[in-house]
Amino acid sequence: MDAIDLILAKRDGGRLTDEQIDWFIQSYTGGAIGDEQAAALLMAILFRGLDAAELARWTQQMIASGTRADLSALPRPTVDKHSTGGVGDKISLVLVPLVAACGAAVPQTAGRGLGHTGGTIDKMETIPGWRSGLSPDDVVRILGDVGAVIGAAGPDLAPADGKLYALRDITGTVESIPLIASSIMSKKIAEGTGALVLDVKVGTGAFMKDLARAGELSEVMVGLGAAHGVHTTALLTQMDVPLGRTAGNALEVTEAVEVLAGGGPSDVVELTLALAREMLELVGLEVDPADALADGRAMDTWRAMVRAQGGDPTAALPTATEVEVIPAPASGTLARLDALAVGVAAWRLGAGRARKEDGVSAAAGIVWRATVGDAVTAGQPLLELHLDDPSRLPSALAALDDAIEITSDPVPPPQLILDRVQ
């Protein structure tokens, strides 16, 4: 075969055969096809798309480029959750131990943050001693003992996706729905879970800004899950307003632990329970996850999971050396707290990274003392900017210039769950 044949076929609106897809994924992953021809094919796919059969085969080959974990020997049903990324999204930190406490095994493969969206691995690494690098045997052992794992993807997990994602990132082809769907689902299917709930964020702080497009992505991913034997549903959730009251690595771990202890912000609790119920329903467990939060079982599982991965759940977390307070500019109701602006500001304070190889600050981030729908009084502390490097403050403040709106009229809190796809 020749790469130019595939490029021309897709450019002209044709479909790729199974043999062509197999050859391309194997050859590009193995280095036999150069970036320039692979980029041309990705651009053709961006404009022409992939039909359901093409996409299922494409995803299958991405999975086959590495190893698919076998968790069938576990005594518990397996289920995981994936979020498309948002601001203040610490849901996984609560959800994984909570669902495990209800009787499932949750083998969560998580990632690091990039840009204004945080990463679960960065957050967990603020816990002294905790490690994300686990062998397949470690994962199976911890799932058997505890029921919950949060780990980084190993090099054998859909390695084709690593190459293709890096190329998409520099060729303007990231937003292709078939390529997004295959990227997400190849890794999740390869981790060996039997069921999956997708949290597809929609709004200013999300990758998907538009509800219709987010719905299309959700339908494609749910279909891919079904095609590969993984029971999948999706919730479309708002990301115009950041979740909870914190954005930043150690700050979000602290907030997650508050939720596990039975407190924490109501929106984090509500969304966590909604996702937990979806996960438990998919695997046939008739358990109310609210009970596991209230009676301490979820907290016990969190502590056991952290210890099993080398961490100390009782250790103090890093704190910032400086805190800059921004007061409310007027009295009234907080009508807008822009998720993108908050995320960019936290990133500029050091909580995020511009490139995958950049480091992050464990302590940097933002705390907001009110959210949309809350009454505020002029002069009260509204935002706290946590940082270790004072030179970062001006650019973070600039990001927040138009982030807040206060009105004299009542404002309802944002609707968390916008739609469901199954």
Tell me if residue 338 is catalytic: no
The pairing of beta strand 417-421 with beta strand 322-327? unpaired
CA-CA distance, 148 to 304, in Å (whole number)? 9
Q: Which residue has the tokens 């479909």?
A: 15
Q: Are 89 and 202 in contact (CB under 8 A)?
A: no
Active-site choice (57, 81, 82, 112): 82
Q: Which residue has the tokens 């999971």?
A: 305
111, 243, 334, 344 from 372: Cα distances, Å: 29, 11, 5, 19
Which helix (DSSP H) or strand (DSSP E) does residue 108 occupy? strand 106-110
Active-site choice (10, 57, 116, 168): 168
Query: What one-letter code names the amino acid at 310?
Result: G
> 67 exposed, middle or buried (CB, 10 Å; 0-12, 13-18, 19+)?
middle
Q: E strands, 320-407, where?
A: 322-327, 332-337, 365-368, 375-376, 381-387, 404-407
Active-site choice (89, 161, 240, 267): 161
Tell me if residue 168 is catalytic: yes
Q: Are 80 and 189 in contact (CB under 8 A)?
A: no
Specify the 3-state DSSP secondary structure of 173.
coil
CA-CA distance, 297 to 291, in Å (whole number)? 8
The DSSP string of 353-372 is -SSTT----SS-EEEES--T
Tell me if residue 82 is catalytic: yes
Tell me if residue 161 is catalytic: yes
Q: Are 403 and 342 in contact (CB under 8 A)?
A: yes
Active-site choice (187, 201, 231, 348): 187
319, 328, 341, 350 from 387: Cα distances, Å: 9, 20, 17, 7
Q: Which residue has the tokens 């062998």?
A: 135
52, 118, 139, 216 from 200: Cα distances, Å: 20, 15, 26, 11
Active-site choice (92, 183, 186, 361): 183
Which residues belong to the active site? 82, 161, 168, 183, 187
